[in-house]
Amino acid sequence: MSSSGGELLAGQHARLVEREAALKGDVEALQSTIRDLTQRLTAPKAKNRRVLTVLGRPHWPSSQAGATAREYGHGRSDRTALPVVTEVHDLSEAAQHCPACGKAFAPFPGAESSDVIEIQIQAHMRRIQRPRYHKTCQCPQVQVL
């Protein structure tokens, strides 16, 4: 083999050794980040309250954005004394039929209710009821309403 061929191989070898060292450094940095994130994920919550650094930027855990952990608010106020105004929101005539075959849905016992507290001139509780339906056909596309 000529001396120029040996020099060529030596140069390629040196570049490959440099590249391998750089890649090993990158792998070590990524493994360090994985270790750090795994520790944060599995650490007790008290350790997570300090400012964390994620990818070189400060990161505040969301638990510090309000009350501290294990402090509970007062909950919802009791509104049972408010008068209730019941509204029935029924489906449109077209929505009461199967879109595939057109057969009408049959009324289903009970209603789905939700309460909205409104304060106008006099506070009252508005109870919204939606009649429920079940299908009377065998169409697989339609679920229970």
Measure Cα distances from 139 to 105, 129, 132 in Å.
12, 27, 18
Tokens linked to 99: 């879109």
For residue range 11-20, list pLDDT tens digits in order. 899 999 999 9
Distance CA 42, CA 36 (A): 10
Q: Which residue has the tokens 């590249």?
A: 19
* pLDDT over 70 (residue 23): yes
Burial zone of 125 (CB within 10 Å; 0-12 exposed, 13-18 middle, 19+ buried): middle
Question: How far is the CA of 108 from the CAs of 37, 43, 65, 136, in angstroms?
Answer: 51, 50, 45, 11
Task: Provide mean pLDDT across the span 77-81.
Answer: 86
pTM of the model: 0.32
d(CA 119, CA 6): 89
Q: How confident is the model over 86-124, as pLDDT tens digits?
A: 898 888 988 989 989 989 999 889 888 888 888 767 777
**Contact by Cβ (8 Å): 111, 90:** no
> Residue 39 corresponds to which tokens in the numbers above?
């520790």
Residue 68, pLDDT score: 55
